[in-house]
Amino acid sequence: MGVNLAKNQPVSKQQIVGRKHIVLASSSPRRLELMNSLGSLSFTQLPSTGDEVNEGGGRTDIVCGSDSVEILGKPKDGEDAVRMLQKLSGSTHMVGTGYCIGSLRFFPRARFDCQPLLLRACISRVTFRELSMREITEYVASGSPLDKAGAYGIQEEGGDFVDSLDGSISNVMGLPIAELGLDLVRFGIATFAAEN
C-alpha cells in the first residue's frame, strides 16, 4: 500500500514571489516542476553546463544549481534496476540533495562569473517495505525506474514501495523546495506572497 506521501510534503503554506530573475541550472523536468510549485518566480531553466549560457550585456541574475545523491546511482539497464530494487526492499536508505544559490554575472561573448551565496545539503531517510519479485519485475518492465537514481521515483509508482519517509519528499525528488524557498527569501531574492 505504501506510505501516505502527501503528509510529508515540505512545501511552505505560504507561496513566494520573486524579486530577481533566477537561472535554474538543471535540465531536470522534476526540478522545473518543483520550482514552479514555489510560487510566482521569474526563472529560466538552463542545463548546468557553461556552454548554454546566452550572451548578456553585463546582466546579473541569481543562479540555483542542485544535485541529488542516491548511493546506488541510476541503473544501467533493467537487470541493474531489478538488483537495486531488491537491495532497497525492506531496508532504509538516505537520499541527499545539495544546492547552491549564487550571483551570476553575464559578460559579452557568453562569458560569466558566479559568486556563491549559499551551499546547503538536505538528507531524507526512505524506508521501503518488503517487495515481491513480481512487483519489482512489473515496475522495471514499465520503464519508469530506468532514468531515476535508486531505480524508483517516489512521486510516481515507486512511492508505493515506501513504508516511511523521514524528511522532505521534494528532497528525494531532487530539490528541497521548503528549504530553498526560505533561503531565497533570506537572501532577498524572493518574498513571501503576504509581504507584497
Active site amino acids: 67
Closest CA to 123 of 91, 163, 159, 168: 168
Closest CA to 29 of 135, 148, 120: 148
79 to each of 137, 144, 165, how far by Cα in Å?
9, 13, 26
Nearby residues of 178 by Cβ (< 8 Å), 6 or more positions away: 10, 11, 12, 168, 170
Nearby residues of 9 by Cβ (< 8 Å), 6 or more positions away: 169, 170
Nearby residues of 70 by Cβ (< 8 Å), 6 or more positions away: 93, 95, 149, 150
Backbone φ, ψ for residue 96 (5° rounding) = -115, 140
Q: What is the DSSP letter of 150?
A: G
